[in-house]
């Protein structure tokens, strides 16, 4: 697909999407372990390979500027690794009488009872249930925990 055969809005959308993916990936790695330079090079390499069918001449030039000797068009596409898309933690919203009072980051496989204990122990939640009777605790796995209290 060449830029001349792709409607201009789609072309702009493809570029924005590639840049946003690269920025997100670079941000995540820097926050995880600080290996920014290594990841920026890898992410730039992959971004150029993905952009090559749309901008063949400039990507070829940039490819050689990065120190590669072969053509970018002979390079294999990045391979998807599904193990890197699995989340180990999730953010749970804690509501008291329908209003979010706190959030906690927990393991995705946390037990309901453990989550309830953790939520009831949160200082931001405790001040809203202090001296009141907890009538019901509703858990929506992976999303929220709602506490219904009454006088």
Cα 115 to Cα 127: distance, rounded to the nearest angstrom: 18
- pLDDT on residue 19: 76
92 has which bridge partners?
A: 104
136 has which bridge partners?
A: 148
Q: Identify the CA nearest to 75 among candidates 62, 93, 90.
A: 62
What is the tens place of the pLDDT at every residue in 75-108? 888 888 888 788 889 999 999 999 999 999 999 9
Lowest mean pLDDT segment, chosen from 1-10, 38-47, 92-101: 1-10
Question: pTM for this one?
Answer: 0.53
Block residue for tokens 């050689």: 64
Most confident range, picked from 30-34, 36-40, 98-102: 98-102
Task: Report the percentage of the chain scoring pLDDT > 90.
Answer: 34
Taken in order 43, 74, 64, 7, the sign of the CA dihedral is: negative
Which carries the bigger pLDDT value, residue 102 or residue 44?
Answer: 102
């Amino acid at each position: 697909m060449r830029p001349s055969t792709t409607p201009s809005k789609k072309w702009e959308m493809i570029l924005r999407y590639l840049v946003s993916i690269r920025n997100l990936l670079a941000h995540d790695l820097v926050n995880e372990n600080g290996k920014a330079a290594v990841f920026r090079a890898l992410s730039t390499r992959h971004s150029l390979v993905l952009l090559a069918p749309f901008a063949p001449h400039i990507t070829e030039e940039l490819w050689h500027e990065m120190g590669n000797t072969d053509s970018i068009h002979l390079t294999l596409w990045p391979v998807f690794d599904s193990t890197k898309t699995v989340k180990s933690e999730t953010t749970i919203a804690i509501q008291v009488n329908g209003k979010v009072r706190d959030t906690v980051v927990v393991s995705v496989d946390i037990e309901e009872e453990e989550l309830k204990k953790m939520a009831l122990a949160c200082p931001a939640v405790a001040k809203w249930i202090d001296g009141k009777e907890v009538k019901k605790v509703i858990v929506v796995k992976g999303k929220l925990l709602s506490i219904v209290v009454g006088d």
